[in-house]
A and B are shown apart, each in its own frame.
Chain A
Amino acid sequence: MLESIKTFASHFFVTGDPMIYGADASIVLVTVAILFVLTYFKKWRWLWDEWLTTVDHKKIGIMYALAAILMLFRGGVDALLMRTQLAFPNMHFLQAEHYNQIFTTHGTIMILFMAMPLMFAFFNIVVPLQIGARDVAYPYLNAVSFWLFFFGAMLLNLSFVIGGSPDAGWVSYPPLSELAFDKGPGENFYLLSISISGIGSLATGINFMVTILKMRAPGMKLMDMPLFTWSILATCIIIIFAFPVLTIALALLFIDRLAGAHFFTMLHGGNPMMFINLFWMWGHPEVYIVVLPAFGIYSEVVSTFAKKRIFGYKSMVASMMLISIISYFTWTHHFFTMGSGADVNTFFAISTMAIGVPTGVKVFNWLFTMYRGRIRLTLPMLWTIAFVPCFAIGGATGVMLAVAPADYQYHNSYFLIAHFHQVLIGGVVFGYFAGLYYWWPKMFGHVLNEKLGRWSFWFWNIGFYVCFMPQYALGFMGMTRRLYTYPHGLGWSSLNLVSTIGAFMMGIGFLFQGAQILHGIKFGKRDTTGDPWDGRTLEWSLPSPAPHYNFATIPQIKGRDAWWTMKEEMKQPGYKKEPVHIEPIHMPKSSGRPFIMSVFFFIAGFGLTFDWIWMGVIGAIGVGITLLARSFEYDTDYYVPVDEIERTEAALGRL
Chain B
Amino acid sequence: MKLRTLLSRMKWFFTVALATVMLTGCNGQFVVLDPKGPVGKQELDLIILSTVLTLIVIIPVLIMLWIFVAKYRDKPGNKAPYKPEWEDNKTLEIIWWGIPIVIIGILGVYTAKTTFALTKPPVQNVAPITIQVTSLDWKWLFQYPGQKIATVNYVEIPAGVPVNFVLTSDAPVNSFWVPQLGGQEYTMPGMALTLWLQADKPGSYLGMGANFTGEGFAHMRFHVIAKPQSDFNAWVNHVKQTAPALTKAGYQNLTQPSVTDQMSFSSYPDGLFEATVNKNGGIYMPMQQGNMKKEDTPADNNAMKNMKMGQ
Contacts and interface: CB of A to CB of B under 8 A. Distances in A.
Nearest to B13: A466
Contacts of A100: 212, 214-215
Contact of B215 (A97, A354, A373, A393): A97
Contacts of A376: 74
A364 B189 contact: no
Interface stretch (B89-97, B126-134, B223-231): B89-97
Interface string B134-169: 000000000000000000000000000000000000
Contact of B97 (A269, A338, A357, A483): A357
A274 B172 CA distance: 15
Interface in A302-340: 306-313, 315, 335, 337-339
Given A100-B212, A372-B82, A405-B114, 18 more contacts: A168-B214, A311-B87, A312-B87, A350-B108, A357-B97, A360-B57, A372-B80, A385-B65, A388-B61, A389-B65, A392-B58, A406-B43, A406-B183, A409-B32, A412-B175, A470-B17, A483-B218, A490-B206
Given A176-B214, A376-B74, A470-B17, A404 B62 contact: no
Interface in A463-477: 466, 470, 473, 475-477
A484 interface: yes
A176 B214 CA distance: 8
Contacts of A270: 281
A476 B108 contact: no
5 contacts: A273-B188, A370-B68, A377-B73, A389-B65, A494-B20
Interface of B: 1, 3, 6, 10, 13, 16-17, 20-21, 23-25, 27, 29-33, 40, 42-43, 46-47, 50-51, 53-55, 57-58, 61-62, 64-65, 68-69, 72-74, 78, 80-89, 92-93, 96-97, 100-101, 104, 107-108, 111-112, 114-116, 118-119, 171-173, 175, 177, 179, 182-186, 188-191, 193, 206, 208-218, 280-281, 283-284, 288
B66 to A, nearest CB: 9
Given A176-B213, A405-B115, A407-B183, A454 B51 contact: no
Given A266-B189, A309-B84, A360 B32 contact: no
A558 to B, nearest CB: 16
Contact of B62 (A267, A392, A403, A473): A392
Nearest to B119: A342
B59 to A, nearest CB: 9
Contact of A266 (B57, B87, B114, B190): B190
Given A273-B284, A311-B87, A400-B51, A350 B111 contact: yes
A413 interface: yes
A201 interface: no
Contacts of A426: none
A609 B191 CA distance: 32
A413 B217 CA distance: 14
A94 to B, nearest CB: 11
Interface string A265-286: 0110111110000000000000
Contacts of B284: 271, 273
Most buried by A among B72, B193, B216, B288: B72
B68 A367 contact: yes
A501 B12 CA distance: 14
Given A313-B87, A367-B64, A370-B69, A478 B206 contact: yes
Interface residues of A, number: 97
A523 B40 CA distance: 60
A345 interface: yes
A373 B82 contact: yes
Contacts of B42: 405
- Of A97, A100, A373, A466, most buried by chain B (CB within 10 Å of CB) is A373
Nearest to B26: A491
Contacts of B73: 374-375, 377
Contacts of B97: 315, 357, 361
Given A370-B69, A494-B24, A495-B21, A411 B210 contact: yes
Contacts of A413: 210
Contact of B69 (A385, A403, A407): A385
A495 B184 contact: no
A500 to B, nearest CB: 12
Interface string A369-384: 0111111110000000
Contacts of A388: 61, 65
A475 B219 CA distance: 17
B61 A353 contact: no
A396 B179 contact: no
Contact of B173 (A167, A269, A272, A377): A272
Nearest to A353: B104
Mostly helix, strand, loop or mixed at chain A's interface?
helix
A176 B172 contact: yes
A404 B74 contact: no
A462 interface: yes
A403 B80 contact: no
Contact of B218 (A266, A363, A484): A484
Interface string A478-511: 1011111110001100110010010000000000
Interface string A403-441: 111111101110000000000000000000000000000
A357 B214 contact: no
Contacts of A357: 97, 100-101, 104
A373 B111 contact: no
Contacts of B1: 454
Given A400-B47, A405-B118, A478 B208 contact: yes
A9 interface: no
A399 B107 contact: yes
B62 A272 contact: no
Given A175-B173, A370-B72, A409-B32, A495 B62 contact: no
A173 interface: yes
Contacts of A181: 171-172, 214
A265 to B, nearest CB: 9
B47 to A, nearest CB: 5
Given A371-B72, A477-B29, A494-B20, A338 B210 contact: no
Contact of B212 (A339, A371, A481): A481
A375 B72 CA distance: 6
List of 10 A-B pairs having minimum Cβ-Cβ separation, nearest first: A408-B183, A491-B29, A396-B54, A176-B172, A339-B193, A494-B20, A374-B74, A309-B87, A412-B210, A364-B96
Contacts of A549: none
Counting chain B CB atoms within 10 Å of each CB, the highest count among A364, A392, A494, A498 belongs to A364
Contacts of B112: 346, 349-350
A310 B43 CA distance: 41
A494 B23 CA distance: 10
B69 to A, nearest CB: 6
A462 B17 CA distance: 12
Contact of A360 (B50, B100, B189, B211): B100
Contact of B46 (A306, A339, A406): A406
A356 interface: yes
A447 to B, nearest CB: 18
B183 A411 contact: yes
A333 to B, nearest CB: 11
Nearest to B86: A372
Given A176-B173, A346-B115, A491 B27 contact: yes
B87 A409 contact: no
A360 B85 CA distance: 23
A160 B116 CA distance: 46
Nearest to A339: B193
B185 A408 contact: yes
A475 B208 CA distance: 13
Contact of B183 (A397, A405, A475, A501): A405
A396 B65 contact: no
Given A406-B50, A458-B3, A339 B111 contact: no
B224 to A, nearest CB: 13
B52 to A, nearest CB: 11
Contact of A312 (B31, B53, B88): B88
